[in-house]
């Protein structure tokens, strides 16, 4: 059947083993055979070669004194199993990263928000202002590290839009030049007729400025692209980002990032399970003139809404303990009050309002942590959406 002479039919003859490995395997087979004869029971063991080859040895004694010996090369199967274990480990790390990021971003929201409030109360105390600036810089660095962790785990919610990368690159160049310094010349060469792509502009700008390869890798993979790196001694390093083509006709030009503080007199219902976060958010919004109601979970928020309380905006965390998530709360709240505006917040969104790494259509989200000015501008924008009312500017 095998085309081999009897003298050649020995353990390892059909496996990709060298002479030394074959001899070692033969010795292992004899040991297994002796163990099977001593117990008169089948014996199954796995033999691992130095080169990484894995072989299952099954010795099954027969009633007539003979035996059936089975050698099975399980190298590929073991490699697949190991790859699956590694994938499961990475998934577990991603889950753990998300949980830690959620709690950590809650803390940073309190720190950054409180610093903004404190800055308005110190007046012209230069020494105090300098210390607040130092704490603020440290908090922003911590927030950046958290974003990098979430991007690497592909759990950072993206808000992609159809753009032309030629235009985005022209806006990004000043950031790159400031990052590399005046001693390095930066050139930007763009191709004519470059295809449009769907990309989160702010995340893309953080990536051509070099915010760290783990961050860039996670960001590109979330968009369905890939990344290549080539490095050679004396020549330097080339990093290539490939992003999928968009067939959308409408090009949405990225809006310039501006810090605009806005005031309002509307009523905002803030829902968050963290008491310190609730208090901090309430202080920030009240500082801009809003009336604030607080709830620690979905059930409390629904009770407030069912009492007929006039509320203009529901500002809710996405991930909350209990049976009612932020998304479920929003859906039930709109049933009670159809004109209610919804703004989500979270340091880690899971899959409640994000699918395939992207926000669901029509969803408004402000990621933790955020500064008081960012919160006020976002709240004003959501409240004014579909109304045509211009935001009211205020001094910061």
Nearest to 312 by CA among 287, 346, 285: 285
Residue 336: C-alpha distances to residues 221, 236, 303, 373 (Å): 39, 61, 11, 30
Angle (CA) 358 362 309, round 5°: 125
- 50-74 exposure pattern, b = at least 16 Cβ within 10 A, e = fewer: eeebbbebebebeeeeeeeeebeee
Res 343: pLDDT: 94
Average pLDDT over residues 16-24: 64
Res 32: pLDDT: 80
Res 1: pLDDT: 44
What torsion do the CA atoms of 382, 385, 389, 393 make, to the nearest 10 degrees?
30
Res 322: pLDDT: 77
Tens digit of pLDDT for each residue in 291-325? 999 999 999 999 999 998 899 999 999 878 778 88
Res 50: pLDDT: 66
Average pLDDT over residues 332-360: 75
Tens digit of pLDDT for each residue in 55-94? 787 878 777 777 787 878 888 888 888 888 887 776 676 6
What torsion do the CA atoms of 306, 312, 315, 316 make, to the nearest 10 degrees?
20
Res 246: pLDDT: 83
Average pLDDT over residues 213-226: 78
6 DSSP 8-state letter: G
Res 350: pLDDT: 54
Res 329: pLDDT: 92
Res 348: pLDDT: 67
Res 69: pLDDT: 78
Handedness of CA 196, 197, 198, 202 (dihedral sign): negative
Q: Which residue has the higher pLDDT, 207 or 305?
A: 305
Res 394: pLDDT: 39
- Other CB atoms within a 10 A radius of the CB of residue 209 amount to 14
Res 395: pLDDT: 38
Res 284: pLDDT: 92
Tens digit of pLDDT for each residue in 364-394? 888 888 888 889 989 998 998 864 444 444 3
When mean pLDDT is compared over 110-124, 193-207, 292-306, the highest value belongs to 292-306
Provide the pLDDT confidence category of residue 249 given band limits of 50, 70 and 90.
low
Asked if pLDDT for residue 98 goes beyond 70, the answer is no
Res 12: pLDDT: 53
Q: Which residue has the higher pLDDT, 288 or 223?
A: 288
Res 87: pLDDT: 74
Tens digit of pLDDT for each residue in 135-182? 988 888 788 777 666 655 555 556 667 888 888 888 778 767 876 778
Res 360: pLDDT: 62
DSSP state letters, 294-305: EESSHHHHHHHH
Nearest to 224 by CA among 378, 356, 74: 356
Mean pLDDT rounded to a whole number for the chain = 78
Helix (H, G, I), strand (E, B) or coil at 261: coil
Tens digit of pLDDT for each residue in 257-286? 444 457 889 999 999 988 999 999 999 999
Res 7: pLDDT: 57
pTM of the entire predicted model: 0.56
């Amino acid at each position: 059947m095998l085309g081999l002479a009897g003298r050649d039919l020995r353990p390892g003859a059909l496996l990709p083993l060298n002479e030394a490995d074959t001899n070692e395997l033969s010795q292992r087979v004899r040991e297994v055979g002796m163990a099977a004869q001593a117990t008169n029971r089948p014996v199954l063991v796995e033999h691992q070669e130095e080169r990484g080859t894995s072989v299952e040895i099954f010795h099954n004694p027969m009633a007539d004194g003979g035996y059936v010996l089975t050698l099975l090369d399980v190298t590929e199967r073991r490699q697949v199993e190991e790859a699956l274990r590694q994938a499961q480990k990475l998934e577990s790390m991603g889950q753990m990263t998300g949980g830690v990021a959620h709690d950590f971003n809650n803390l940073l929201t309190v720190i950054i928000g409180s610093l903004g409030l404190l800055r308005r109360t110190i007046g012209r105390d230069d020494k105090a202002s300098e210390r607040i600036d130092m704490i603020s810089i440290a908090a922003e660095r911590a927030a950046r590290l958290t974003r990098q962790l979430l991007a690497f785990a592909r759990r950072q919610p993206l808000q992609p839009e159809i753009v032309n990368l030629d235009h985005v690159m022209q806006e990004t160049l000043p950031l790159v030049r400031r990052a590399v310094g005046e001693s390095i010349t930066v050139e930007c060469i763009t191709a004519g007729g470059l295809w449009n792509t769907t990309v989160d502009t702010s995340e893309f700008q953080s990536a051509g400025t070099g915010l760290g390869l783990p961050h860039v890798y996670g960001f590109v993979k979330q968009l369905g692209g890939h990344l290549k790196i080539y490095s050679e001694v004396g020549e330097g390093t080339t990093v290539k980002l490939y992003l999928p083509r968009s067939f959308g006709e409408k090009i949405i030009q990225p809006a310039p990032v501006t810090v605009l503080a806005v005031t309002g007199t509307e009523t905002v219902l803030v829902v968050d399970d963290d008491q310190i976060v609730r208090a901090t958010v309430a202080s920030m919004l009240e500082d801009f003139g809003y009336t604030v109601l607080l709830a620690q979970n979905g059930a409390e928020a629904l009770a407030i809404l069912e009492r007929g309380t006039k509320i203009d905006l529901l500002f809710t965390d996405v991930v909350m303990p209990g049976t009612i998530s932020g998304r479920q709360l929003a859906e039930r709240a709109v049933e009670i009050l159809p004109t209610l505006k919804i703004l989500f917040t979270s340091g880690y969104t899971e899959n409640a309002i994000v699918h395939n790494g992207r926000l669901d259509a029509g969803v408004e989200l402000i990621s933790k942590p955020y500064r008081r000015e960012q919160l006020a501008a976002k709240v004003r924008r959501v409240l004014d959406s579909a109304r045509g009312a211009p935001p009211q500017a205020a001094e910061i």
